[in-house]
Structure 1
Amino acid sequence: MFRKVSANHPLVYFFLAFITMAGLSYINFLPGMVNALAGSIGFSDAQAGQLVALNGYGGLLGSTVAIFLVRRMPWQSAMYTFLALLAVVDIGTLWIETYSVMLGWRFLAGLFGGLCVGIGFSVLARLNNADRAFGTLLLIQFSLGAVVIYLLPALETLLSAYAVFYVMAGFALLSLIMMLFLPSLASERKPVKQSLLLTELNGNAVLLMLAITAYQLAASAIWTYVGRIGLGAGISTDNVSLYIAITGLLGLLGAMLPVISGNRFGRLSWVLAGVALSSISALLLSVSPLTPLLYVTSMTLLFFSWPAVQSYLLAVTADMDVTGRLSALAAVVSSVGLATGPLLASGLLDNGNFSVMLYACALVFFSCLFLLFKPVQAQERTKTGVLPPHYQPNTKDPI
């Protein structure tokens, strides 16, 4: 009834990226979700932040469990199950009014969503072009995030204050439909230099996981409060929403870099430039007085850099371990950063003053330069056939 798409078809990259995004889609429009929870739904600002954080830690648990599932059960059966459960939980949120019940309910949503994300990462990592796969994922995340943030006020008027949860459930249901057209994708990538990548680069893998965690932590901290920063600078609510939506769309250029260029020109220079621009973005937001021009410029730099840096780092992860398990681990550490960023930011606020938080984020971005340099450089040398001097090839290596 449903015609399967061939394994190398561009639609496979799009469908898989969309399905992976749907697991924790709220992250793409986090300010809109926080505004809804702390606005018409009736929770306080602190409660809204705690609900978002617990949703994120549920995702962390789900992504962790996915590491052990990816090689023990068919990924498609698991994805069908968890997407359906996620849609049910998101829709069920509409009838929950008690804060304590909502905490547990959103943690459950995060659990099912994290399972989808972890499994999705492992499958994306097994596609032939990892740069295109993860670039497509970030492209979808930023484009849909900008569109949803722009449309949420109208959707809330049309539906209710819970419109954001309708959107999240809709993404899960649409993902179920996309699953029907995907091939099995059992193991499409050949295990190139597997023994080298799994033994010689263990230390580099740790550094790379730390870099992904740190970058996501700083970026999500700014992302959580970027709307409040604009309001604190005297920019109107309507203009803040418009600026976030527009700069989010401009950030699609960063997401398109890995999709268009892939690994043809190397990854190291792109990643270093992106992290440096992210650090500059945090510093620009701390300038007082913050003008609309500085506000828009800083967000443009961050939203351009964020998808490019993450997709390239995830592509490096995919090349380090062709089984996909390291990519599932990357989903876990990414969730750690995304869930911890808002908590860190909230702890560094000082009566509406965001300067300390922004300086801390700039410092975290700067530390990423040292964490990622060695693993990305080593992976590029391996790709080009320049092996580490201590590497001794053996006959078991399929090279």
Structure 2
Amino acid sequence: MLKYFISNKLPAGHPLTYLFLAFITMVGLSYINFMPGFVNALAGNIGFNEAEAGQIVALNGYGGLIGSTIAIFLVRRIQWQPAMFLFLVLLSAIDLSTIWLSELSVSTTGSSNYTLMLGWRFLAGTFGGLSLGIGFAVLARLNNPDRAFGTLLFIQFSIGSIVMYFLPELEAQLSAYAVFYVMAAFVLMSLAILPFLPALSLKYSTSNQPISDHTASFSGTSHNALLLMLAIITYQIAASAIWAYVGLIGLGANISNDDVSMYIATTGLLGVLGAMLPVISGNRYGRLYWIMAGIGMSMVSAIMLSASQLTPLLYVIAMSLLFFSWPAIQSYLLAVTAEQDTSGKLSTIAAVVSSIGLASGPLIASGFLNSENFSLMLYVCIAIFVLSFILLLKPVQAQEQERSIKLPAQYPS
């Protein structure tokens, strides 16, 4: 392993390449991994109300959408590492300056400036989305898309659990703005490991053949690809809506803040197991049944959280179901996307629609809150989970059938 660091570049197939690239991709919108802590901080000592907190998170996500959309047109025209370095530097500067601007606003006006926070977090999301979109395209170019996106989800849920566990202590030691220090620290770590990644070209497929515009765009305009993108966005809307408010749901059930953070952190570790599922199994047993089971678990999670008498046990079980199923479903769907288009362009589009879902979830959820009652919001999430399942059924079935036809040809008796 040492020789790779001495030569300064890892091979494309090395496990550390998957790990480092997944980490850097995650960092673009890292707040998503500990969104309940972000929302709790904004709606707590930083001084915004619950609806404003959800809207700030949503604007951060819509900035990510803009950035990821721009990345679609950049990925085949740029050297990805210098571009990634620039966007990450700008992102870290904005994360750190958010703290200064908010504290300045409080000191001069006596309260946090809602409009200023909206605009500044939108800008942070834009640069984060640019790096995220580029990262998705590079991940799709690696040899094993199931492993690549499974590793990404593994990183996301590992980081989410760790941050949620330590965030209350960090807030006690630093300030209510500790979550912004955490985001900036992750960006700085990404800048440190970026030079070790291989200089993969985004102008060529994994077979080293140039990608024609026709090939690159065919899957992106097909009927199945459209259904797949809609399935990704709807599932992300429902899951992120619950994720954004799961901390406040716990607090509303009279669970203490420290216990809520601990429960989210510990159950979030099941997300690591869910993310490892596609890494371990790959596509050897197909993806459809795993996805069906995962969406069923997500629906049961929302039903349990909507219980009128939410106990700590129900709360923990509900989060366990969601956190295990969410990364498995997303990594399988992203692997389906990567197989539909080897250019990586459709994967970047998937990053965009995923950003739409992640940004829209908290915003939609905030519109269904009623005097801190989360039941209506959770019922809407259940309906959206059902819609996502209906949308993904045809494209995943089609790819399973296509793969079953190809395998005998690839491995003749």
TM-score by length of 1: 0.93
Tell me the distance in 2 between the aligned counterparts of 1:46 and 1:235: 21
Indicate conservation of the 8 Å contact 1:279/1:362, yes or no: yes
Indicate conservation of the 8 Å contact 1:25/1:168, yes or no: yes
Answer yes or no: is 1:110 the counterpart of 2:125.
Answer: yes
Matches within 5 A, 1:182-261: 182-186=197-201, 187=204, 189-190=206-207, 199=218, 202-261=222-281
The one-character-per-residue Cα deviations of 1:33-79 (angstroms, maximum 9, x if unpaired) are 12222222223333322221111111110010000000111111110
Q: Offset at 1:154?
A: 1.1
The one-character-per-residue Cα deviations of 1:182-205 (angstroms, maximum 9, x if unpaired) are 011114623899978964781000
The residue type paired with residue 104 of structure 1 is: G
Answer yes or no: is 1:296 the counterpart of 2:301.
Answer: no
Tell me the distance in 1 between the aligned counterparts of 2:94 and 2:216: 39
Indicate conservation of the 8 Å contact 1:20/1:120, yes or no: yes
Indicate conservation of the 8 Å contact 1:197/1:320, yes or no: no
The residue type paired with residue 82 of structure 2 is: S
Partner of 1:22: 27
| Correspondent of 1:120 among 135, 141, 146 | 135
Tell me the distance in 2 between the aligned counterparts of 1:196 and 1:7: 23
TM-score by length of 2: 0.90
Q: Offset at 1:372?
A: 0.6
Matches within 5 A, 1:1-399: 3-97=8-102, 98=105, 99=113, 100-186=115-201, 187=204, 189-190=206-207, 199=218, 202-385=222-405
Residue 185 of structure 1 aligns to a residue whose secondary structure is coil
1:2–1:93 CA distance, 2 compared to 1 (3 A): farther
Aligned residues: 387
Residue 170 of structure 1 aligns to a residue whose secondary structure is helix
Indicate conservation of the 8 Å contact 2:54/2:244, yes or no: no
Indicate conservation of the 8 Å contact 1:127/1:188, yes or no: no
Consecutive unaligned residues of structure 2, counting only runs of 5 or more, are 1-5, 106-112, 408-413
Tell me the distance in 1 between the aligned counterparts of 2:52 and 2:384: 26
Tell me the distance in 1 between the aligned counterparts of 2:16 and 2:191: 15
The one-character-per-residue Cα deviations of 1:113-133 (angstroms, maximum 9, x if unpaired) are 000110100110111000000
Q: Which moved more, 1:362-371 or 1:234-243?
A: 234-243
1:182–1:156 CA distance, 2 compared to 1 (3 A): same
The residue type paired with residue 322 of structure 1 is: T
Tell me the distance in 2 between the aligned counterparts of 1:184 and 1:197: 21
Indicate conservation of the 8 Å contact 1:247/1:300, yes or no: yes
The one-character-per-residue Cα deviations of 1:340-366 (angstroms, maximum 9, x if unpaired) are 111111111222221111111111111
Partner of 1:394: none
Percentage identity across paired residues of the two chains: 65
Tell me the distance in 2 between the aligned counterparts of 1:265 and 1:177: 38
Q: Which moved more, 1:40-49 or 1:119-128?
A: 40-49
Q: Offset at 1:384?
A: 2.8
Tell me the distance in 2 between the aligned counterparts of 1:224 and 1:52: 9
The residue type paired with residue 137 of structure 1 is: L
Tell me the distance in 2 between the aligned counterparts of 1:35 and 1:257: 30
The residue type paired with residue 250 of structure 1 is: L
Indicate conservation of the 8 Å contact 1:198/1:320, yes or no: no
Tell me the distance in 1 between the aligned counterparts of 2:231 and 2:333: 9
1:245–1:26 CA distance, 2 compared to 1 (3 A): same
Q: Which moved more, 1:93-102 or 1:128-137?
A: 93-102
Residue 206 of structure 2 aligns to a residue whose secondary structure is coil
Q: Offset at 1:383?
A: 2.4
The one-character-per-residue Cα deviations of 1:229-258 (angstroms, maximum 9, x if unpaired) are 112222222221111111001221111101
Residue 384 of structure 1 aligns to a residue whose secondary structure is helix
Indicate conservation of the 8 Å contact 1:282/1:362, yes or no: yes
CA RMSD, 1 decimal: 1.9
Consecutive unaligned residues of structure 1, counting only runs of 5 or more, are 388-399
Q: Offset at 1:379?
A: 1.5
Residue 96 of structure 1 aligns to a residue whose secondary structure is helix
Indicate conservation of the 8 Å contact 2:137/2:344, yes or no: yes
Q: Which moved more, 1:36-45 or 1:209-218?
A: 36-45
Q: Offset at 1:2?
A: 5.6
1:356–1:16 CA distance, 2 compared to 1 (3 A): same
Tell me the distance in 2 between the aligned counterparts of 1:96 and 1:198: 42
Tell me the distance in 2 between the aligned counterparts of 1:10 and 1:31: 31
Residue 196 of structure 2 aligns to a residue whose secondary structure is coil
The residue type paired with residue 158 of structure 2 is: S
Tell me the distance in 2 between the aligned counterparts of 1:48 and 1:228: 11
Indicate conservation of the 8 Å contact 2:40/2:247, yes or no: no
Tell me the distance in 1 between the aligned counterparts of 2:129 and 2:373: 33
The residue type paired with residue 25 of structure 1 is: S
Tell me the distance in 1 between the aligned counterparts of 2:71 and 2:296: 32
Indicate conservation of the 8 Å contact 1:2/1:180, yes or no: no
Tell me the distance in 2 between the aligned counterparts of 1:264 and 1:311: 15
Residue 405 of structure 2 aligns to a residue whose secondary structure is coil
Tell me the distance in 2 between the aligned counterparts of 1:291 and 1:255: 27
